[in-house]
Amino acid sequence: MLKNRIASLCVFTASLIAVPAACLAGTTTEDKPAPIEEKPVSRISGDLGVSVISQYISRGLVLNNQGPISQDYADLYFNLYESKTGFLNKVQFNLGIWADLDPHSTQAGTAPRLQANGSPNSVTLPWFYEFDFLPGVSFTFAKYFTFTPSYYAFLSPSSAFRTFQGLNLNLGIDDSPLLGKFALHPSLTFLRELYNKCGSGKQEGNYYEIGLSPSTTAGPVTITLPITAGFGSSRFYANNRGFGYFTPGIQLGVPLKFIPSSYGTWNFTTFYKFYYLGNSLSNFNTGNPTPGFGDNSVRERGHDEHVFSAALVMTFP
């Protein structure tokens, strides 16, 4: 009797082992779906731009307008921190360069003499009017605000002006969640001149800028209507004028979808800007030499200026 019970128990146990084995019969590890691996998100992004512009106007100062000018830039953005919760949402380190290449410039070698003996300035590249180095850090907080302090260094390989250094503070506001397609995308900018000038005054001063950039789409075309006003204090502009300039404009952007996305996202843009220059800038570069910016060979006196531009822009990833 005991032997029969032991035999029955062995048969029952063997059957339990055989059932799952039978269910797995014919199944191999090759039939199981491979685990889905998440692609790592790049923490580095950037953009490149190449443009041709009719004249170079910086903060209302007409610097060159003798012929077509190439203005090119490149930026890298390093994502240091990102969170969808909390007050601080994103931190980026920004590294940018910008260049103005002007074979028609009349300003080469006109910077004030740097040597005590009054020897002429050396002109290394007469067509290389300006090269800028623009590192900074941006902080996005409360989801809709981005504050970006940057160090500005403007150099002139053509010795058209003396090297400038400044501190630039920018606050951008994303009002699209509130206004939708009627968003204005306002921005505020403050620039403090630390070493030498980028304004028309006689000593280091302060520059203030207010900007709006509403946009809409018409088919594949993005239409932007930028509006900017610039002001100065502490002799940023000549005669310590407060109002610098006002400029409305229109920009059209078209994506170049025939370029494979593996080469980045490409767009063609073109814009027109109208400048109304205040009294401190209407005669800039017209008759009275301004230290650091050359003689009177650039333009005729006037309050109105018109600027046209076309550009290729690539962003990645």
Give the residue among 239, 307, 315 at the shortest CA–CA distance from 279. Answer: 239
CA–CA gap between residue 276 and residue 262 (Å, rounded):
42
Place of tokens 């000593």: 203
pLDDT value at residue 20: 46
Q: Tell me the C-alpha to C-alpha distance, in Å, between residue 112 and each of 5, 47, 115, 283, 287.
A: 112, 35, 9, 20, 17
pLDDT value at residue 99: 98
pLDDT value at residue 228: 98
Q: Which helix (H) or strand (E) holds 2?
A: helix 2-23
CATH (residue range 42-316): 2.40.160.40
What's the token pair of residue 210? Answer: 């207010």
Q: For strand 56-58 and strand 61-64, is the pairing parallel, antiparallel, or unpaired?
A: antiparallel
List all residues 6 or more positions away from 7 whose beta carbon is below 8 Å from its beta carbon.
none
List all residues 6 or more positions away from 36 whose beta carbon is below 8 Å from its beta carbon.
none
> SS3 letters for 92-131?
EEEEEEEEEECCCCCCCCCCCCCCCCCCCCCCCCCCEEEE
Complete DSSP assignment for 37-91: PPPPPPSEEEEEEEEEES-EEETTEEEE-SS-EEEEEEEEEEEEEE-SSSSEEEE
CA dihedral 195, 96, 250, 63 (to 10 degrees): 40
pLDDT value at residue 236: 97
pLDDT tens for the 317 residues of the chain, in order: 545 554 554 545 555 444 444 444 555 555 667 777 777 788 999 999 999 999 999 999 999 998 999 999 999 999 999 999 999 999 999 999 999 999 998 888 888 765 445 555 678 789 999 999 999 999 999 999 999 999 999 999 998 999 999 999 999 999 999 999 899 999 999 999 999 999 999 899 999 999 999 999 999 999 999 999 999 999 999 999 999 999 999 999 999 999 999 999 999 999 999 999 999 999 998 865 545 444 556 888 999 999 999 999 999 98
Provide Rg for the chain, Cα atoms.
Answer: 31
Handedness of CA 116, 120, 124, 126 (dihedral sign): positive
Residue 11 DSSP label? H
